Chain A
Amino acid sequence: MSLTREPVQPLELDPRLGDRVRIEPLDGGRQTMTMSMGPQHPSTHGVLRVVLTLDGETVVDAQPDIGYLHRNWEKIAEYMTYAMTVPFSDRNDYLAAITNELALVQAVEKLTGIEVPERAQILRIIFSELQRITSHLLWFGTFGLDLGAVTAFLHAFTAREYCYRLFERATGARFLYGYLRIGGMRNDVPDGWVEDLLSFVDQLERTYWPEFMRLLIDNAIFIRRTKGIGVLKPEVAVAYGASGPVLRGSGVKYDVRKADNYLPYDRFEFDIPVGENGDVYDRAVVRMYEMLESAKIIRQAVKELPDGPVMAKVPRAIRPYGEVYHRVEGPRGEVGVYLVAAGDTNAYRARWRSPCFVHLQLLPLLARGHLVADVVAIIGSIDIVLGEVDR
């Protein structure tokens, strides 16, 4: 039997559907196959289609095809008042609703010059760090699932449930909170909440975190699957505007919390974990250590939590002028909001800069030369949320 095959003609398909499967000849009798991973695929974390060009099982090219969840937040935000936009922005990165709200609310506060009470500032730090832990816990679970480790998923969701109970008690919602307001927070935290938060942080540091490290990160199979896969060089990461754990996994010590100090983070001591090689393993380890750093910030913030109101006096109709670009460090990276205000209750232009949108364009660079199963690991390691990519 001869190994050389006849070249196969490209298939004729409905052009509206794009190229589902196409086979084209390569040199030496080999062929590349173009096929879709997604839009409905168990490892794409949402509705993402990746058009893979394969030589055997090796990826020659991987082009993401996005827009399936596009609802044009930016246009709808132009029709809504600033306050109405806040709960809607929760839906962008639905795994980190607090940091979404924070970016938008602080942008409006900068435009209007509203001073937020100190208690609300510290509570915002506590909630955004708790949100970071929650988001990283979900990432830990689903990343394990992508690599075939089902047990990690179940353990991570047990810990995550603890977080969501805390969120539910304070905000009334488990997932999409609408908790931050322009000028502060909707309500103060209930009695005994802070003690429960501390007991969760204790449990995370003592029980969950070492367990997760033993279960997945230090596992020999995990290391074999992730070391040296999807390497992102630091200069490439900066040039592409990567942020968050993706940038820090490449060894660039850059964090918007330290660079912009948008909340009083300078009062607290915390490190920025960075990786060395910029591969999937480093990004994973950076996320794991970020959980510990967030726990550290929560402990310090709870000690400094002052008494007082959580809401400033805010005019009934907010009609600012000017423009502002405000960015915060979300769990996935730099969440930016650009607002142009022309003296109306609505923004003239509202722009949402999402970190995952930027990270996803790195996928062809990261995936080239690896196997199809590694593409799954790479997508998991950049921790995409398609609601935020498509907005």
Chain B
Amino acid sequence: MAERAEAAPGQAGDDRPIHIHQDDKPLLEALPLPAEGTFVDPKAKKKAAGEGTGEEPAADPVVARLREAFPDLTFEPVAATADGGPIVTVPVDRWLEVARFLRDDPQLGFDYLSDLCGVDYKDALQVVYQLRGVGHDRRLTVKVNVGKDDPEVPSVVEVWPGAGWHEREAFDMFGIRFSGHPDLRRILMPPWTPDDVFPLRKDFVDRRPKRERKVRPR
């Protein structure tokens, strides 16, 4: 055996920080932010050309009401989920104002935050909010894009208090900071995780020391 210049990864004497590993590469590639709000099948788009599929979600009453209340915002790109729910995009600096309106407006009444999560794209991080309401069947998906250099999104804890832990998880997994959050700490990862490690980002490399494979002697 050739003599080892340094101790085996993870063993005693290995003083490299755990999160530096030279030869690994991320396995997944980040895709650019889809221009149409969500990923669209290029073949299906050719088929449906001329029919104007993009106008359907914009005619949704929820989107119409939003445009009426915020005439200076276009909420674009507007898209639809696979089951027809509207998706709107809100600029990050207006999001808190829109969020309060979404909850308090009697025509919308989105008092139930079903889910909040982050998504990592090549050029931006995205926070996705799934809004529902008790007592009606309207639904809305809100997307807030934020640059990767300084990902800071206003916290919606004051609007929907249940967002607290979801935001902590998005911070833990993506490094999105939620300004105004009362207790923004890591939640699922251990507290000694290095400050620059965010596991759900696409460029994350699993840098834990590889476990030594034990082979039974024959």
Determine whether the beta carbon of B191 is less than 8 Å from that of A18: yes
Min distance, Cβ A13 to any Cβ of chain B, angstroms = 14
In the bound complex, what is the Cα–Cα distance between A334 and B112 (angstroms)?
12
Q: Choose among A242, A321, A343 the residue with the greatest number of B CB atoms under 10 Å from its CB.
A: A321
| Cα-based distance from A20 to B72 in the complex (angstroms) | 53
Asked whether B82 lies within 8 Å of A241 as measured between CB atoms, the reply is no
Q: How far is the CB of A333 from chain B (nearest CB, A)?
A: 11
B187 CB–A CB distance under 8 Å: yes
Nearest Cβ on chain B to A236's Cβ, whole angstroms? 8
A237-258 interface with B by 8 A CB criterion: 238-242, 252, 254
Interface residues of A in 297-316 (CB under 8 A from B): none
Q: How far is the CA of A259 from the CA of B204 in the complex (A)?
A: 38
Size of the chain B interface, CB-CB below 8 angstroms: 46
- The reply on B162 being an interface residue by CB < 8 A is yes
CB closest residue in chain A, given B38: A323
Q: Decide if A338 touches B28 in the complex (CB within 8 Å).
A: no
Q: How far is the CA of A358 from the CA of B164 in the complex (A)?
A: 9
Segment of B62-70, B89-97, B113-121, B147-155 in the binding face: B113-121
* A241 vs chain B, min Cβ distance (A): 3
Determine if B31 and A348 form an interchain contact, defined as CB atoms under 8 angstroms apart: yes
| The one of A113, A236, A323 that contacts B81, using a Cβ cutoff of 8 Å | A323
Answer yes or no: B1 CB below 8 A from chain A CBs. Answer: no
How far is A189 from B137 in the complex, measured between Cα atoms in Å?
35
Establish whether residues B189 and A78, one from each chain, have CB atoms under 8 Å apart when the complex forms.
no
A79 at the interface (CB under 8 A from B): yes
The CB with the most chain A CB atoms within 10 A, among B162, B189, B192, is that of B162
Q: A238 contacts which of B111, B115, B190 (Cβ < 8 Å)?
A: B111
Q: Is the CB of A322 within 8 A of B81?
A: yes
Whether A67 lies near B189 (C-beta < 8 A) is yes
- Taking CB atoms and an 8 Å cut-off, the chain A residues in 313-340 that contact chain B are 320-327, 334, 336, 338, 340
- Whether B39 pairs with A252 at a CB distance below 8 angstroms is no
At the interface with chain B, which of A68-76, A176-184, A368-376? A68-76
Q: Which residues of chain B (106-128) have a CB below 8 Å from chain A?
A: 111-115, 117, 119-120, 128
Contact B28 A322 (CB under 8 A): no
Give the CA-CA distance A238 to B188 in the complex, in Å. 24
A390 in contact (CB, < 8 A): yes
User: Are B28 and A259 in contact, with the CB atoms below 8 A?
Assistant: no
Q: Kindly identify, within residues 139 to 172 of chain A, every residue whose CB is under 8 Å from any CB belonging to chain B.
A: none
Task: Tell me the smallest distance from the CB of A76 to a CB of chain B, in Å.
Answer: 11
- The answer for the CA separation of A20 and B170 in the assembled complex, in Å, is 27
Known: A78-B28, A325-B85. A239 touches B162 (CB 8 A): yes
Residues of chain A contacted by B35 (CB below 8 angstroms)? none
Judge if B73 is at the interface, Cβ distance under 8 Å: no
How far is the CB of A307 from the nearest CB of chain B, in Å? 29
Contact flag A239-B161 (CB < 8 Å), given A322-B81, A338-B115: yes
Cross-chain contact B160 with A241 (CB below 8 angstroms): yes
Q: Verify if A233 is at the interface (C-beta below 8 Å from B).
A: no
Contact B162 A321 (CB under 8 A): no
When C-beta atoms are compared, the residue in chain B nearest to A357 turns out to be B165
- Nearest residue, chain A, Cβ from B27: A79
Nearest CB in chain B: distance from A374 CB, A: 22
* In contact, B188 and A361 (Cβ under 8 angstroms): no
Cα A365 to Cα B81 in complex, Å, equals 35
Contact A75 B199 (CB under 8 A): yes
Within 8 A of A (CB), among B136-154: 137, 141
Q: In the complex the two chains form, is B134's CB within 8 Å of A324's CB?
A: no
The answer to whether B44 has its CB under 8 Å from any CB of chain A is yes
How far apart sit A341 and B82, CA to CA, in the bound complex (Å)? 10
Which residues of A come within 8 Å of B, CB atoms?
16, 18, 66-67, 70, 72, 74-75, 78-79, 110-111, 113, 236, 238-242, 252, 254, 259-260, 320-327, 334, 336, 338, 340-343, 348-349, 351, 353, 357-358, 360-361, 390-391
* 10 tightest Cβ-Cβ pairs between the two chains A and B: A241-B162, A240-B162, A321-B41, A324-B82, A67-B188, A353-B115, A351-B117, A70-B188, A361-B165, A342-B39
